[in-house]
């Protein structure tokens, strides 16, 4: 069974996923301490089965992770009905109140400005890091606009998010756990202060709307953090992994450049081809059977999204990048009641970034081999050096 810390596996996990899929749709992974669903059908069943839930267990010792646990205990992502139903209804109402659509021109403008900076960096230095210039700043700028975070505070958001999401990895050293709690504490304090300001001086922002929804202050804070962490991490890594894939398949870059009408299918294909979130856990609330594999109550099983995304039963030639692909539905945004509430905004951001790139840098190419992050669950790059 694969080692999630093996650099060779992290570089290209998909041959190992194919080997596992050919053997069985579900396997027990002793190293991860849970079962993993590797076929598309089995992974989809894990995400949709009502006998499998997101059952939050506080990080321990609890007294050392007060803020980290507060954020997750009150999160939409970590709750099941009836709490999940109330949270999602309230958040969907606030999130859908024109906020996403009103941001469309802003996102396009931000993407174009960031690509202008990338163009200038390449002209001045011969190459530039696309992650640093575009993929990382775009989603945090968009979420900051959505929440109306003051400009001076925006640089603090990404370091907080990066530290907190490390807790989702397996085998994190104690120093990483301490850093995650420290970041969570600062993030919670910042958002409490921001929420207090919006309570006194309401605005046309999402935090103001959340404060008027059926949410406690802890739930407002947890929702804002979730939107940043989920929105930022996923979008950064789809753009990074996706552009890398396109530049390694220049025929597909050329197709997209020549036919911008392919952008909607290209966005979905890039999410599928190199999934930014590789694994998503569930806990059995009753005895469950997935593809013939028994999961006893209290045991965990995970949908291995990267494996499901390359299932030949759903996607023809799944190891081939095809920006015009229309068959099959990827699970990159999840499924069932936990389907990503920010999916429409993520699609807008990814499409805007790619549109600006193909328009402004049609001859874009890799300047050096990108370095990959050493994490398994959240799959991304450390850098993406490009030239034109």
62 in a structural domain: yes
Rg for the chain (alpha carbons), in Å? 20
Say what the pLDDT of residue 293 is: 98
Beta bridge partners of 295: 288
The SS3 call for residue 58 is coil
Say what the pLDDT of residue 22 is: 97
266 in a structural domain: yes
1 in a structural domain: no
pLDDT means per 10 residues, the chain with 388 residues, are 93 97 97 97 97 92 94 92 91 74 90 97 98 94 90 91 88 92 95 94 91 91 88 90 98 96 97 95 97 97 98 98 96 94 91 97 97 93 97
Exposure on the CB side of residue 255, measured as CA atoms within 13 A: 14
Say what the pLDDT of residue 97 is: 61
The answer to whether 163 and 186 are in contact (CB under 8 A) is no
Q: Provide the number of structural domains found in the chain.
A: 1
pTM over 0.75: yes
DSSP for 175-226? HHHHHHHHHHHHHHHHHHHHHHHHHHS--SSHHHHHHTSS--HHHHHHHHHH
* Closest residue by Cα to residue 378 from 274, 300, 299, 301: 274
Work out whether the CA dihedral 308, 313, 318, 323 comes out positive or negative. Answer: negative
234 in a structural domain: yes
Q: What residues make up the domain containing 162?
A: 7-387
The answer to whether 93 and 322 are in contact (CB under 8 A) is no
Query: Cβ-count burial of 370 within 10 angstroms (0-12 exposed, 13-18 middle, 19+ buried)?
Result: buried
Record the tokens describing residue 212, joined without a space. Answer: 């008027």
Q: Please list the helix, strand and coil fractions of the chain in percent, rounded to the nearest 5, in that order.
A: 60, 10, 30
Say what the pLDDT of residue 90 is: 85
345 in a structural domain: yes
CATH of the domain at 13: 1.10.630.10
pLDDT in tens, 268-311: 999 999 999 999 999 999 999 999 999 999 999 999 999 999 99
The answer to whether 39 and 15 are in contact (CB under 8 A) is no
2 in a structural domain: no
Helix (H) or strand (E) segment spanning residue 333? none
21 in a structural domain: yes
The answer to whether 114 and 133 are in contact (CB under 8 A) is yes
């Amino acid at each position: 069974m694969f080692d999630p810390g093996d650099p060779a596996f992290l570089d290209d996990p998909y041959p190992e996923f194919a080997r596992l899929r050919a053997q069985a749709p579900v396997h027990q992974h002793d190293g991860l301490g849970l079962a993993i669903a590797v076929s598309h059908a089995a992974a989809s069943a894990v995400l949709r089965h009502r006998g499998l839930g997101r059952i939050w267990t506080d990080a321990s010792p609890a007294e050392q992770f007060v803020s980290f646990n507060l954020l997750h205990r009150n999160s939409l992502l970590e709750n099941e009905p009836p709490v999940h139903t109330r949270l999602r209804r309230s958040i969907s109402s606030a999130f859908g109140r024109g906020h996403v659509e009103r941001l469309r021109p802003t996102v396009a403008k931000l993407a174009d400005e960031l690509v202008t900076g990338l163009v200038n960096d390449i002209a001045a230095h011969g190459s530039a890091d696309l992650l640093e210039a575009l993929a990382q700043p775009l989603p945090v700028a968009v979420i900051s606009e959505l929440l109306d975070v003051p400009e001076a505070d925006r640089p603090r958001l990404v370091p907080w998010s990066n530290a907190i999401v490390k807790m989702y990895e397996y085998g994190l050293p104690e120093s990483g756990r301490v850093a995650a709690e420290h970041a969570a504490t600062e993030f919670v304090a910042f958002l409490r202060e921001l929420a207090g300001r919006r309570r006194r001086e309401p605005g046309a922002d999402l935090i103001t709307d959340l404060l008027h929804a059926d949410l406690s202050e802890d739930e407002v804070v947890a929702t804002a953090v979730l939107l940043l962490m989920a929105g930022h991490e996923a979008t950064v890594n789809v753009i990074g992994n996706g552009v890398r894939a396109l530049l390694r398949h220049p025929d597909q870059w050329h197709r997209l450049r020549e036919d911008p009408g392919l952008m909607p299918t290209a966005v979905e294909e890039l999410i599928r081809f190199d999934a930014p979130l590789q694994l998503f856990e569930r806990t059995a609330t009753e005895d469950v059977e997935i593809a013939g594999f028994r999961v006893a109550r209290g045991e965990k099983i995970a949908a291995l999204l990267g494996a499901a995304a390359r299932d030949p039963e759903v996607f023809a030639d799944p190891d081939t990048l095809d920006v015009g692909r229309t068959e099959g539905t990827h699970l990159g945004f999840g499924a069932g009641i936990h389907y990503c509430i920010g999916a429409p905004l993520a699609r807008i951001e990814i499409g805007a970034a790619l549109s600006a790139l193909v328009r402004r840098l049609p001859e874009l190419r890799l300047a050096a081999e990108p370095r990959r992050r050493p994490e398994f669950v959240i799959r991304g790059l450390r850098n993406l050096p490009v030239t034109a």
